[in-house]
Amino acid sequence: EVIVRTAKAMVDTGLRDLGYQYVNIDDHWHANARGKGGVPLANPKTFPDGIAAVADEVHALGLKLGIYSDAGSMTCGRCFGGFGHERVDAEAYASWGVDLLKYDYCFAPSSATEAKARYGAMAEALRATDRSIVLSVCEWGFRKPWTWAPALGGSLWRSTPDIFDTFSWNPLGVRFIARRNLKLADHAGPGRWNDPDMLLVGNHGGGKATGELHLPNQLPKGLRGRKLWSFRGLTDDQVQSHVTLWAMMAAPLLASHDLARSSEHDLALLTNPEIVAIDQDALGAQGRLVRSKPGLWQVVKPLADGGFAVSVTNLTRVPRQTAIDVGAIARSGAAPTVSRTYAVTDAWALEGLGTPATLRAQLPGHGSVAFVCRPTADT
């Protein structure tokens, strides 16, 4: 019910028409045990008609279905894992109509060699089916998957540990997750994406996975899962910066909240057409940190039309002013086409600004601005 309701909300809110494609089932969809011959079974209470029936409803809405498993003996939530069952699992996913597999790495050996072997086994099993299924590698960036996942068949890979619903907490708040991912621009491109984890839009500190810090499930019973800390969530300015940075990094935009309970502000963040277009630009380039003054990040992302997007994020709690030299960015080689002038759009305000040589903005604490600069005919 939740999955189908979410799919319908994606249609009703306009997310589908903007390019959001996948409705992903995460952990705990599993039955208590596998079936005869090791076949994976869904929980009969939460999926009484099976996963295939859910896939049919999702596909009927013009969307795709993702599912979750793990390269270890168990998933992170202690359901049955995929190790040793790659072929039977892949065949089941294909028969159900699954379009994407997020493959986690709990309860698995720490070595990079073993991780490559386990992800390779699942990638091979998926290719052997009669269905195209995207493989999302999720080992949290510990073994540099950007260097080996593409060759195995991974289309996206988690480049960082799990994100938490806070802006500045080191090491897992928004700014520190973004800083890790910004260093990996050379490894991104069409069909190969750095994934700095889900969006926190709409959680407001209430997400179980993102709003509370727990001890790992792998620990002995008694310590396992104990809550250590609760986060308050992001302010409006912080969450706008979060979405800005993810779009500039060409990151997968994965909403993690109940879409049916989205506020107007939540939906405005997810459905801004200029921001989504920056993220989904056909060139597939990840933005680069080109200027890092104390407390300010300037990120530039080349675009397929020969222009570029530029954002500035205020990392401090106090308001800051910024000035962006449009021509200097183009001459630096950051833009595919050097034009005498650029038609500039304020991406968040959805407002054309003409062809200014310099962009000036006042940034609130932890706030961001983003501009799209398109070459004019006067090149």
What positions carry a catalytic annotation? 104, 162
Compute CA distances 301 → 32, 44, 107, whole Å.
46, 46, 38
Which has the closest alpha carbon to 65: 75, 54, 73?
54
∠ CA 246-163-13, nearest 5°, is: 55
Token reading at 375: 């070459």
Asked if 24 contacts 102 with a C-beta cutoff of 8 angstroms, the reply is yes
| Bridge partners of residue 322, in order along the sequence | 361
Phi, psi of 112 (to 5 degrees): -65, -35
Sign of torsion over alpha carbons 110, 193, 134, 53: positive
- Amino acid 113 reads T
H-helix or E-strand spanning residue 149: helix 149-152
